[in-house]
Amino acid sequence: MAVPPEQTSDRELRSRHSHEPKSEWIVAHAVASPTRLLILLLSLAALWGGAFFGYEALQPGPKVGSGSLPADVAFQASKLSPATLDALATLRATATELPAPGPGDWLSEHRESGQTFQQYVTGSPTLPRGRRRFLCVAPLGPFTQPEEALLDETCAYLERYFGLEVRRLDPIPLPLDGGGDDGLPASAVRLTGRGFGPQVRSEWVLQKVLRPRLPDDAAVLIGFTARDLWPGRGWNFVFGQADLRRRVGVWSLARLGDPAGDEAERGMLLRRTLQVATHETGHMLGMRHCIAFACNMNGSNHLAESDSRPLDLCPTCTAKLVWATDVRLGERSRALAAWRAKRQL
């Protein structure tokens, strides 16, 4: 893994753009008068044609395997430090474009438009700010000793990956029989499952279990469970699921391997767990699926596809991470490289 050069802080270069034009606002105000109709037309021109009245136009999203869009690279130059831009240029030189999806792959079954850096910045993502500086992790349901050790490793990795302190919360029980305050109702459990034991509905966990427990000082809260997950009707399972706006997410160990297996299997399980955990945390920080490069933020429809994804972020998603967290790329790269080398990842 290449180590980008050190950079100065990007904090002073960051802008939330909380007042960018919204198509919903334009539609709601389109019919009141000829003057507002003129404003509508000018606003549409701003959205599609460039900067107007101080608002910066959103660029079209990338195409599958398109790499970095020149306009988006130019926008990064206005938001990030020169040292960060140099590091990102090095990453772009070695980045792999995402190949066309095969049958059954994520992009074969889910139409996605991707997300440029500019779309991320102007989309008001969740950012670690003020008191909300911690990544909080909550164990959900019963855990074996090997699973506990895996969670410890994952928390240590998350700190290095995002450059934020991880705080581990007390375990939360998830009884399947509906007993106790945290018991799952029948609508949130599928006892027949899909080959990995009873399934828990991930959306119920997000809204009913995690959201009420979101600490005041948490940037995000992610639940970690050994139970198999499914999001609801029409789905067989999910590896994990996150709510981009409500700052909660959950991921599952159930389909990733045997924590009590041999050394090779435990190594593969660790890699898969780290990948799902960082992917879902990226979602909670507002990152959508990446379609331009091979990237940790690519969607995956099955385990073989997930195993083909890199642990690293692509240049565009790395730019999002730096802008969001103010992490120093050089320090981050060295910490991750040392941690992975020790575990032969």
Q: Which of 165, 280, 305, 331 is catalytic?
A: 280
Query: Among all chains, which residue has been given the structure tokens 């999203």?
Result: 61
Cα 159 from chain centre: 15
Check if the beta carbon of residue 176 is closer than 8 Å to that of residue 186. no
Specify burial of residue 19 (Cβ count, 10 A radius: 0-12, 13-18, 19+): exposed
Q: Which helix (H) or strand (E) holds 11?
A: none
Strands of the sheet containing 199-201, edge to edge, are 189-190, 199-201, 228-230
Q: Which helix (H) or strand (E) holds 225?
A: strand 218-225
Q: Distance between CA atoms of 214 and 217, rounded to whole angstroms?
A: 8
Max intra-chain CA distance, the chain: 72
Q: Distance between CA atoms of 234 and 245, rounded to whole angstroms?
A: 23
In sequence order, the 6+-apart residues with CB closer than 8 A to the CB of 207 are: 243, 246
Tell me the H-state helices in 124-196: 145-162
Check if the beta carbon of residue 337 is closer than 8 Å to that of residue 93. no
What is the per-residue DSSP string for 285-312?
TT-----SBS-TTS--SSHHHHHTS-SS
Check if the beta carbon of residue 206 is closer than 8 Å to that of residue 243. yes
Specify burial of residue 164 (Cβ count, 10 A radius: 0-12, 13-18, 19+): buried
Query: Known catalytic residue: 12?
Result: no
Bridge partners (DSSP) of residue 134 are: 218
Q: Cα 257–263–238 angle (5° rounding)?
A: 15
Q: Cα 60–292–299 angle (5° rounding)?
A: 110
For the annotated catalytic residues, the residue numbers are: 280
